[in-house]
Structure 1
Amino acid sequence: MPTYNNTTVIKVRKSALNNVVSEFEKIFRNQFSKLPLSNEYELARYSLHNSTVIIYKSGKVVISGREIEKLRDFFLEFSELNKVNNKFRYLIGIDETGKGEIIGNIIICGALIDTSITDLKELEKIISGIDTKGKKKDIRRYEEAFRGIISLGVQYKIQEISPEELKPKKTNLIMTEKVLKLLEKLIPNVKEWNSLRITIDDFGFKAKDKIKEKYKIPEVILEPKADENYIECKVASVISRYHREKFLEYINSSDEYIIEGIKPLNGNLADPNTIEWLKRWKEIKGELPKFVKKWNIPKKQ
């Protein structure tokens, strides 16, 4: 699998950090040079095989360089995402994208993994290093990851919430309803409910007990930043991000939505370009497009 920008990021279990460092230095002995730490958050830093490895105290491992596949495979053995014990055959992950952006629908993805079909190590190789929350977006990388995920037998469903559906202070309730609809579509594909884990990246979800009571699921996890710790949520995050990036690519390449050479770009109010695009659109065309969350625009705009 090619690695874009020659960088990949893996989250290893914090409890295994000392063992990770020890095993790394044992397996790659005589191949690496220790580098000085750059800040207080780093645990170790190495140079080897035309690559650099940085191990953080948080468990994050950043590998960059030309020959990273062997290094990546080593750290995947200690991955936080692969901490699935044998009692769960099925994993459902729920994650969203677009909630905090001013442009575009909120896209909620539910991903269903049957671990008797899908090789979790191969799955993590596909999604490792993809930052679904950062600023740098590469739709080609998302598309390749999406195709790889599907090729491994992962099923998914999407629910979208348009700006017209949203109401101030009701967003989390509307999103909760959409998540319940996703589960209604996914759970019938699960043959053994007592072997299912559901993990939801917590956006303010309000129905955890309702799910446990309705489906008699042994484990329902509701956790902020769940995509950093659970493979099913990471997969859902990648798929939802891919769908959003397809939409952004469309509006940024369409003459219909380019004003005086200015494009909407990432649709985030932290982006000066997006702010300027909103301003110029209102000045020239008046009413903003339907894909803009108008009620969420600061009055100064």
Structure 2
Amino acid sequence: MAKTASTKTKTKKQESPLIIPNTTIEITFSWAEVSSEYKKVLTRLAKRLSIPGFRKGTVPTAVAEEQLDTQVVVEQTLQKLLPERYTAEISKQKKRPLTTPDFRLVSSGKNQDWVIEANIAEKPEFSMPGYKPVVKQALKDAVAAIAKEKTKPKEQEQDTIKLQIIYGKLAEKYRPQVPELLIKREIEHDMEQMRKQLKQLNVTLQDYIKRNNLTEEAFSQQVTVRALTRLQSIFITDAVAKSEKITIDQQTIDAHIDALPDADFGKKQRNNPDYRASLHQTLFTQAV
């Protein structure tokens, strides 16, 4: 009897996504918690209304409520109540958001609970066991790539090439994941800086896209990849620093600010949390 050959189908292991969903927290206010502030907002907005038959500032709240945009009243009420409750909820659930949240109103209305969804970005668990051989090989690849250049790059350019290749190889092997919201915030920051630079050149964003022969979709993908790459590099740096027990304390940041050539700039930025965070990451990367 003839034997039939059995064929084994190899299924390729599905790689985990690089951009992952945010963490969602539900925040609920009872009407009893909301009603007092809701009435204050309504009274304040009513004073600004001009309605036939009433002098400005004398419109009854019941009449004003019918004329006002409900969404505006709800938003202004939550602007007062939500920050404190959000902070309390984050502390209660022992969450550590990496950036400002995105809020989504799920439900609201008089005499009912108000439900808000807070989307936050938390740092995923990430480590790089056995990363040193990867770095060693990446450094060899970088040196080989530099040697192929027709014009030898300057020392600083060589360092940049080495870092790009090392971070690229580490990202390729260990695939650090980044929450959606963190990508969104990075893109917002990137776009803000780009618009400022283009404005100085008297160029609109649309003109920039056309001049570079890009579609809006291609430009969006380009910006997203750039944001993802930067954030992955930060996570990689953090993992190396944790492995090697490297830290940057506040005194080191203060000392660096004190040493800036522009003393006025240093004075202005000393207590700027965004600047200190950026400087911390820069010093961190240098130390690693």
TM range (shorter): under 0.3
Structure having the higher helix fraction is 2
Does 1 or 2 have the higher relative contact order (CA < 8 Å, sep 6+)? Answer: 1
